[in-house]
Structure 1
Amino acid sequence: MNKLSCILLVDDDNITNFANQMLIEDMEITEQVLVAFNGLEAIELIKKQCEVDCCPELILLDINMPVMNGFEFLETYKELEFVHKQSVVILMLTTSLNPKDVEQMKEEPIKGFLTKPLTEIMIRDLLRKHFNRDLS
């Protein structure tokens, strides 16, 4: 399988980020895993990475974070301009099943949402669905 060039994890929880990063690295689906602890850090990472032509192909985004939450990130992200922006897959990865959050997610430029915790099956499914890739 061709690996994704880069995956960005955006979550304020260290344990969640560590577990997700280990899972992704163990599955060997990407060349690089980036971690941001809030939306603002994620925006800065995207700007920096896209300048050196290593934009994330997949962003797993939490909703509830300090400094800049997931929805605020999406509003700022819409204003960014970079070459491969249209091909970036953004999925909300959250524990929130609040009906208000679910409704708001439907209005955002995301490909869907996943409920934590992230699992190998979820990753296999998202690779198949959004990248047309299967793990052997």
Structure 2
Amino acid sequence: MKKFSCILLVDDDKATNFANRLLLEDMDVTEKIMVALNGKEAIEIIGKACLTGSCPELILLDVNMPVMNGFEFLEAYSKLDIAQKQSVVILMLTTSLNPKDVDRLKQAPIQGFLNKPLTEQMVSELLQKYIKNSRQ
């Protein structure tokens, strides 16, 4: 089965990051998992990782976080000067089904959004959609 080379989890909830990391490791869908607790930390991690050739292929991004939220992250990310940026899949994870939030998510420069919690079925669908030649 094809895998993501690297996944970046961005969420201020350590329990969510722990659960998502366990799920991804159990499913063996990536070579590397990086974790950031807010958007600012994620930008720093991406900057360093892309310099060493391990830019994340998938970013799972929380909407509401302190320091720098998901939307602020997207704005900062758009200003990064990295060659791999166009091939990175960014999905926002949310618990909010507020119509205003959903409208804002639909207009964001992302590939989509998912409702928390992340499940095995969601991850399998991501593999099928975003990894070429994936076999389940």
TM-score by length of 2: 0.96
**Does the 8 Å CA contact 1:93/1:114 hold for their aligned counterparts?**
yes
Aligned AA (1:82): I
Match of 2:53 in 1: 53
Deviates more, 1:14-23 or 1:92-101: 92-101
Aligned AA (1:98): N
Cα distance in structure 2, aligned partners of 1:44 and 1:50: 10
What are the ranges of 5 or more consecutive residues in structure 2 without an aligned counterpart?
Answer: none
Measured on the aligned residues, the alpha-carbon RMSD in Å equals 1.0
CA deviation after TM superposition for structure 1 residue 67, in Å = 0.2
Structure 1 stretches of 4+ moved >4 Å: none
2:83 match: secondary structure: coil
TM-score by length of 1: 0.96
Aligned AA (1:116): K
Higher strand proportion = 2
What are the ranges of 5 or more consecutive residues in structure 1 without an aligned counterpart?
Answer: none
CA deviation after TM superposition for structure 1 residue 63, in Å = 0.4
Match of 1:77 in 2: 77
Residues 1:70 and 1:133: Cα distance change in structure 2 (over 3 Å):
farther
Name the % identity: 65
CA deviation after TM superposition for structure 1 residue 130, in Å = 2.1
CA deviation after TM superposition for structure 1 residue 2, in Å = 2.3
